[in-house]
Amino acid sequence: MVDLRAAQPEDLKGSHRSRAPMKLLENKRGLVVGVANSHSIAWGISQVCHQQGADLAFTYLNESLEKRVRPLAESLNSTLIFPCDVSQDAHLEQLRENVEKWGKLDFVVHAVAFAQREDLDGRFIDTSREGFRIALDISAYSLVALARACEPLMNPGGSILALTYYGAEKVVRNYNVMGVAKAALEASVRYLAADLGQKQVRVNAISAGPIKTLSAKGIRDFNDMLKHAAEKAPLQRNVESMEVGKSAAYLLSDLSSGVTGEVHYVDCGYNLMGM
């Protein structure tokens, strides 16, 4: 048997040992919108992006959330932490101006959703007109508005990523108007992918399984959802935010350069199961 290692030039044998592996997001800049606390899916994504070499900027909704977000951002060596209410066009314009001073963006993470508590309980048919408007505005239209604000800042080959959930395509008890909002979000991902593809900017979404987050507390019987998902999923467990982060890193990196307009499931396989 021939020892192929012995046939390699001496300089090549040593080079593989000394060269550090290239990180997926090395020299990339990204904006993360929607971190609320250390349990946020967006925080799991942020941690993995940082580990993969990305420089990150963050936003916060109000002073109360700033107290949670700022220490988290600073733990990842980020000093770019901007206020932003995605329901206000003036805030998004100011965000664009702030980020523009930093430079061009390679990716944007949209992790924003909201519905009034009373519109998540009971029957969907009883959703108020104002509740419907609020849920669709903050949970779906904000992606469109954010993409428009960031469009001039995106480098070719850039990526925009949104977060969705299985309730967008199937009825999930107590998810109600949020399911409709997520369906609109997923449709928006496809239309935005068509628009921004001309600039070589990709738009995708991750459909994560249920995870204990701040927003999940507003869903009645959420613990039952967790238990059901763990029992029915092929992997027999619930997904973790860092696992969502790993898939996000792929979709935000050049490894997914040919992927756009897709909804990528990270739910331990729950979505593929029937009865």
Of the candidates 175, 250, 265, 270, the residue annotated as catalytic is 175
- 228 in Cβ contact with 141 (< 8 Å): no
Question: Is 165 an annotated catalytic residue?
Answer: yes
Of 240, 234, 186, 187, the C-alpha closest to 209 is 240
Of the candidates 60, 165, 250, 265, the residue annotated as catalytic is 165
Question: Is 175 an annotated catalytic residue?
Answer: yes
CA distances from 222 to 52, 177, 226 (A): 32, 16, 6
- 269 in Cβ contact with 231 (< 8 Å): no
Beta strands in the chain (DSSP E): 29-33, 55-60, 81-83, 105-110, 154-164, 202-208, 263-266
Pairwise CA distance, residues 197 & 156, whole Å? 9
- A 10 A CB-CB count for 78 gives 19
Sign of the alpha-carbon dihedral angle for 178, 181, 187, 192: negative
Could you give phi then psi for residue 159, rounded to 5 degrees? -145, 140
To which H or E segment does residue 41 belong? helix 41-51
Catalytic residues: 165, 175
